[in-house]
Structure 1
């Protein structure tokens, strides 16, 4: 039954895109700067968990996919304006974002948010916390009434801690674990925050066939266990039960 659903969704999408632009190429938009979720490898190509996942989803949906990188702070506006067809960039599903775009079902459960600092005893509630602009972490800090400084890229948030502009950075734990590699002066605080929902693909609200095709592909990967295998390989989040 799941194969029938997947095939039907793919056929509907192909037909819909053929009417729209004469081909079934889907442009996959990502940031390319948030390892292990997505990053550029030494060859300058998109790599990471979401590249491997996205390629498999496209194969199951019988789509030709091309990868496009875009800075995080304009990633939603450029989806809406048509510069690409999906967002697959470690984006948590939130009610605020869902007012502007639509989401597939989650392809990972929510990843905890953690703090990286120079002082293991830091009191984050009285500290200056760095976060990437437009993230659930930046909104969380502001909602608490704490002091937040926002930066355009994840790398800049780490640099802000090291150069004294901020006392700590709040981000997805999976990203911070990698950022600590080789940085002996940085420590992960014990405190974690549960923010936002799971991570899904963003699509324009009008692209219902595209959403259905990727939903069916995600479901098939959950059912055969291959999605959990990828999550474990890249250590981006907990697996689905």
Structure 2
């Protein structure tokens, strides 16, 4: 098991830490690293492009595969063009949905007040776009110079740190919320295992609610239906921005689940 953990850490170190989910793993780079170590293809990191696919192939001693294509042009370093999200601030209604969606806490603002994106921290992951009810977020090219390898590694380490902090905060908020919580199914145990082995990232605790909640069958079905509808809505918005076969399959599966539950209720 220790050798597997070491391998996952090495794979995770090569991933760009945008936490974008374009590889099909909605809860960040680490779960994809774990899946790669267990045999999944190592060419699905869209923002990493061919350089990351090749580096992973070399690490794993596997055949080199063509990287998943990006909709953005390729930079001089072989990676897709770096993008940044910007808010058309005059149109922002201050709903705060984009703040919760940002995996690296690059968006600031308060309820019913204008929001802004800290472009130096934005990874261009696109996750803030689907939740926005007024579609006031755009993606623009990052016109800064392509970073050196040292700057890239420093940035990746910082983004990983910010994402672990984000998960820890969201986990604490989850415990204090009333009613069902709709969010990505974060594998908290996996993140906790890795954060405990490194001083470079905030430690993640596995927290569980102590109160026991009894839910009737009808109430449980209602909650499940609400969650599925929310996930479908998000996937539909994401697919309107960028077509993705994995997300399309998820949408089809969720639609089937929704129909089955509605038919049974």
- Whichever structure has more strand as a proportion of its residues is 1
- Bigger relative contact order, structure 1 or 2 (CA pairs below 8 A, ≥6 apart): 1
TM-score computed with the length of structure 1 as normaliser: 0.26
TM-score computed with the length of structure 2 as normaliser: 0.25
- Whichever structure has more helix as a proportion of its residues is 2
